Amino acid sequence: MTTWLRFSAAMARRRRVGEHDFPLLAKVLHWSTAALVLTMFCVGVLMKQIGSGACADALMTFHKTAGFLLLILVAARITYRILARLIGRWARGAGDRAVHRVLYVLLVAIPLLGLAGVSDFGAREIYGGISLPEIWPKGAGHADLLFLGHAILAFALVGLVAVHICLALDDYIQHPAQPAAAKKAAAAKPSSILQPDMP
């Protein structure tokens, strides 16, 4: 069993090493999610700090709209990933760590907590006159608690994003991708030293 796990981990690492080139759509979805998360984190902190007023309301509206978009984006990513894996365009093991799973869970849970909070608070309107669906009883009195959980999980998400960045860099540094010429050279002479491009 242990041998099989080591073998599968080595194979996954080899696949990751050889497959740093993700599909363009996956890259767009990934970096869009990253930008949205960063923006919403900053807006959320400032919004909370401002507290009330027109500026806070505007930021709140933007935050709700962006959060709703993020929820849709994450759902699209998960769907795309499942479909891509089913059709074989997504290698098993590429970004398959436990960190990613927790990230996906948080990316779904945090917007839902925020939506529950605004449902309880009674401010579900976003840009374009759209009203978000009510997933929590209005005036239930748990808005503060829901917002506090939303904020704490958001900070945990940012910390996890930092861990995700570090792990990705670690993977990139410890197991650099081999160019095609280097792969041939390595196949011809396994002990030769690879010479990756340097800035």
Partner 1 sequence: MLPSFFKATVRQRLALWASMLGVLACVFGAAEFIGSVKLSGFARAIATHAGAVAALSETDAAYSRIVVALVSDGDRSSLAGDVDAISVAMKAVIARSDDEIRARAVAAAQGLQELSSKLGADNTAAREALRRVATQRNELRVLLNAAVAGVSESLGAHVESSRQNTMLLASLSLFLAALIIWFEHRWLVRPISTMATALRVPGEDAGWVRKLARRGDEIGMLGRALHVHLSEERTRQEAAKERLALLAGEVERQQALRVRGQAFQGNIASIATALETHATSMTDASNELSQLSGFVDQHAGAAAQSSQRAANHVDQMSTSLNEIAELLATTAGEAQRTSEIANAAKTLVGAATDDSALLREAVGSISAVVTLISTVANQTNLLALNATIEAARAGESGRGFAVVAAEVKQLANRTAEATEQVRQGLDSIGTAAERITGRIGALVASVDAVETSADSIAELARRQDDTSRSINIGTAQAADDVRGMAEQVERVAGMIEDWRKMTDRMTQASADIDHQAAALRQAVDSFMTDTQAAQRT
Q: Considering the complex, state which of residue 53 and residue 129 has its C-beta at the smaller distance from partner 1.
A: 53
DSSP output for 94-160: TT-SHHHHHHHHHHHHHHHHHHHHHHHHT--B-GGG-B----S-TT-S-HHHHHHHHHHHHHHHHHH
Smallest distance, Å, CB 110 to partner 1?
A: 14
- The pattern of x and - marking residues 19 through 58 that bind partner 1 according to CB under 8 A reads -x-x---xx--xx------x--xx--xx-xxxxx------
The pattern of x and - marking residues 145 through 164 that bind partner 1 according to CB under 8 A reads: ---x--xx--x--xx--xx-
CA nearest to 71, candidates 102, 42, 39, 36: 36
Count of chain residues binding partner 1 (CB under 8 A): 42
User: Which of 68, 72, 49 is closest to 125 using CA atoms?
Assistant: 68
Looking at 75, 105, 169, 181, which residue binds partner 1 (CB under 8 A)? 169
CB 30 within 8 A of CB 81: no
Q: Tell me the CA distances in angstroms from 147 to 10, 116, 129, 153, 160, one per residue in order.
A: 42, 9, 23, 10, 20
- Could you tell me which of 198, 124, 175, 151 has the C-alpha nearest to residue 20? 175
Least distance in angstroms from the C-beta of 100 to partner 1: 11
For residues 87 to 126, the per-residue mask of contacts with partner 1, x marking binding by CB under 8 A and - elsewhere, is: --------x-------------------------------
We find the least distance from the C-beta atom of residue 189 to partner 1, in angstroms, to be: 13
Q: Pick the binder of partner 1 from 54, 174, 188, 189 (CB under 8 A).
A: 174
Closer to partner 1 by CB, 122 or 176: give it: 176
Which of 176, 181, 183, 184 contacts partner 1 by CB under 8 A? 176
The correct pick among 128, 129, 133, 199 for binding partner 1 (CB under 8 A) is: 199
Long-range contacts, stretch 50-56, CB < 8 angstroms, 24+ apart: none
Q: How far apart are the first and last CA of the chain?
A: 43
Q: Give the Cα-Cα-Cα angle 177, 179, 180 (nearest 5 degrees).
A: 135
- Contact residues for partner 1, defined by CB under 8 A: 20, 22, 26-27, 30-31, 38, 41-42, 45-46, 48-52, 95, 148, 151-152, 155, 158-159, 162-163, 165-166, 168-170, 172-174, 176, 191, 193-199
